[in-house]
Amino acid sequence: MKQSIITGASRGIGLAIAEELASKGSDVVLVSRSGCDAQAAAIAQKFGVRAKGFACDVADSLQVQESFKAAIDFLGGVDVLVNNAGITRDGLLLRMKDEDFDQVLAADLRSVFLCTRAVSRTMVSNRKGSIINITSINALRGQPGQANYAAAKAGIIGLTKSNAAEFASRGIRVNAVAPGFIDTEMTAALGVEVCEKYRAQIPLGKVGKPENVAKLVQFLASDDSDYITGQVIGVDGGLNI
Ligand code: NDP
């Protein structure tokens, strides 16, 4: 029986991950700024696991410390953390405001540090854990208009590899998943024209679904991947070939 915490779980990829982990019998805590009470209740009812939502800004150190302590108490431990929460504030560098850069770095990168630290004591003392960080294809190849986002997501890769090396001897694995173009509110906000432009470039010929990412995360969370750590694995329909 697993005990999993998923950030950014109110919708999109994070919610699909929470559902996938619960479908395999994991108790789950769902975290987002707006809270995830309804989503947690639906998961508990559908999959017969324990589930609870927490309202927490994962860029805020104090909120993370308090919420994660309560989350670990609720679960009775934690052996899976999925750092999925993220935002975009796109714009050309010439016009990018300081706060657009700082907010994205805080929500997308600092959060991974804060949440990982918040579970590490429990995982280290249990000598067991799997941490999965959601980065992006744009960390690997850059993207005009997304200097802040690509920098934060590239930082996640550095954190992933450093933490994987640091925690390996304690039985904790750390991996990153790099989605390509996935159909969620984040990408819908780009508009139909941009979505179609992306779709046309994807070798497999279709936009990804949140479930495509969730299935890889479930594998990395499970003992089936117990010899895999420090890796960055794409889910992108071939977009990064
Ligand atoms: P959505 O915008 O649909 O969902 C983002 C989630 O993160 C929401 O649950 C949101 O909830 C939560 N969130 C945002 N900021 C915070 C915060 N400071 N504290 C806590 N929760 C927060 O995004 P997606 O599902 O599309 O993306 C999920 C992850 O996958 C992100 O990290 C994204 O960068 C990454 N990704 C997505 C791709 C795509 O094509 N969709 C491609 C590559 C990577 P709330 O607003 O309530 O806080």
pLDDT in tens, 51-85: 999 999 999 999 999 999 999 999 999 999 999 99
Distance in angstroms (rounded) separating the CA atoms of residues 219 and 140: 22
CA separation, residue 103 to residues 58, 59, 148, 152 (Å):
12, 9, 9, 10
- What pLDDT score does 95 carry? 97
pLDDT in tens, 133-160: 999 999 999 999 999 999 999 999 999 9
DSSP 182: B
Q: Give the residue whose CA is nearest to atom 21 of ligand 1.
A: 32
Average the pLDDT over 173-196 and give the result: 95
Cα 184 to averaged position of ligand 1 atoms, centre (Å): 9
- What pLDDT score does 1 carry? 65
Cα 169 to averaged position of ligand 1 atoms, centre (Å): 31
Distance in angstroms (rounded) separating the CA atoms of residues 153 and 163: 15
Please classify residue 232 by burial: count the beta carbons closer than 10 Å to its beta carbon, then call 0-12 exposed, 13-18 middle and 19+ buried.
Answer: middle
Q: Give the residue whose CA is nearest to atom 6 of ligand 1.
A: 8
Domain assignments of the chain as residue spans, ordered by start = 3-183+209-231
Distance in angstroms (rounded) separating the CA atoms of residues 25 and 77: 15
Fold of 3-183+209-231: Rossmann fold (3.40.50)
The answer to whether 35 and 85 have CB atoms below 8 angstroms apart is no
pLDDT in tens, 10-58: 999 999 999 999 999 999 999 999 999 999 999 999 999 999 999 999 9
